[in-house]
Structure 1
């Protein structure tokens, strides 16, 4: 009994640590979450898995304008902002938001926010702007409540936020994807987003003012570029 008591005395400080590890955004918990989500037949779950995979990438926050290929164009893999995380996550599932947004803006340019003194669509940058993605998702996806109830949010939903002025690109516009929490917190709604330090898996859904809440899946195959399209990019001055 003495040995057991001594063992418990020394192990007791470790128990809270082990419990916390089961609830943290560790690599082990990330791998488990991705595996679970990928085994689902639901597009939304696979989208969440694709977003979580993005958190393994080292991405420098770069809102610069790039000349990129079309369709399937992208910045260098180590560059990007919050919208690029969304575009790359969808593209991993064969949905090319660059092409989809450009096609719709080409037909209905005046229905999109007129914030950049442009006279027409620009396939290099339009899909990389939060207001444009918001408008596209509102036109072709499901618009949901901007509530503060976790029950109103599902895995794979897209959320946009209004941040304090200057906190991110585009005068405070920000965007992310709803994913499950890690380990013992898997029943919670976390987000994958890039607010300046690369793609992160964080419990920050309600940390900022929610501006939009959408659910968007593929429309039709003919409107998407192949998921394995390889394209380069050139930075423009």
Structure 2
């Protein structure tokens, strides 16, 4: 017996969509960089303070209270939430293998790795990301803080801000009208890249796990 038009349409509506291989369609996971960007965005409104104090924290997966932190904590927390990648452990293990590749001895007078603080320092994160072949570009000397080419969601940018203080943030939108999640004081915030113009751009990373 043939199907009339109404019956045929009803079958189409009730039948799950099939992919090209005949398998049932499933939600496509967000690309790795977008997951990092969303995990950074999720910190806005949660981390409401900036506190650079030295804290003894557990290892691995140690953290201070999520209501506070420093700029590096935005990346550390996003990597854990998005990828289950623990930068505390990764940086500590890499520093244990190659301590003198990091600036800790000359910058802070340390004689060995410190898992409480190493991953929370921008200079160490810059070194780690470079050693992971994640460096896309270094900015020219004294480049304005928005001098980055086509940053994509999940990219990592670093600057030198007031008095040459290192700073880091995670791109959450781009390449058109790029926006960054960072904590420069007052907690995690999402802001357009042009607002960094008066700072000095340093490096552009694309780290994927």
**Can you list the C-alpha shifts for 1:44-66, whole angstroms capped at 9, x where unaligned?**
01000001101121432100111
Aligned to 1:157: 155
| TM-score normalised over the length of structure 2 | 0.76
Per-residue CA distance 1:190-229 (angstroms, 9 max, x = gap): 10000001100101354221111111122xxxxxxxxxxx
The residue number in structure 2 matching 1:73 is 62
131-140 vs 70-79, which moves further? 70-79
1:95 to 85, 102, 105: 85
Distance (Å, rounded) in 2 between the aligned partners of 1:176 and 1:69: 24
* C-alpha distance in 1 between matches for 2:31 and 2:133: 16
Separation (CA, whole Å) in 1 of partners of 2:153 and 2:178: 7
Distance 2:48 2:63 in 1: 13
Number of the residue aligned with 1:214: 205
2:167 is matched with 174
Partner of 2:191: 202
Q: Which residue in the other structure is 2:135 paired with? A: 143
Identify unmatched segments of 5+ residues in structure 2.
1-26, 140-145
**Mapped partners of 2:59, 2:123: distance in 1:** 21
8 Å contact 1:51–1:192 — kept in the other structure? yes
Segments of structure 1 that go 5 or more residues without pairing to the other structure are 1-37, 166-170, 219-237
CA deviation map 1:133-170 (0-9, x unaligned): 000000114211245666531111000001121xxxxx
- Choose 1 or 2 for highest CA Rg: 2
Q: Which has the higher contact order (CA 8 A, sep 6+)?
A: 1
What is residue 44 of structure 1 aligned with on the other side? 33
SS in 2 for 1:145: strand
Q: In the alignment, is the contact (CA less than 8 A) between 1:141 and 1:217 conserved in 2?
A: no
Kept in 2: contact 1:72–1:98 (CA 8 A): yes
Aligned length: 172
* Residues 40 and 187 of structure 1: CA distance in aligned 2, closer, same or farther (over 3 Å): farther
1:134 aligned residue: 126
Q: Does the CA-based 8 Å contact 2:148-2:204 persist in structure 1? A: no
Structure 1 CA distance, aligned partners of 2:130 and 2:138? 13
Residue in 1 aligned with 2:96?
A: 106
What is the Cα deviation at residue 187 of structure 1? 3.7
Please name the residue that 1:121 is paired with. Answer: 113
* CA contact 2:47–2:69 (8 Å) conserved in 1: no
Q: 1:150 to 1:116 in 2, by over 3 A?
A: closer
CA, structure 1 residues 39+159, in 2 after alignment: closer, same or farther (shift >3 Å)? farther
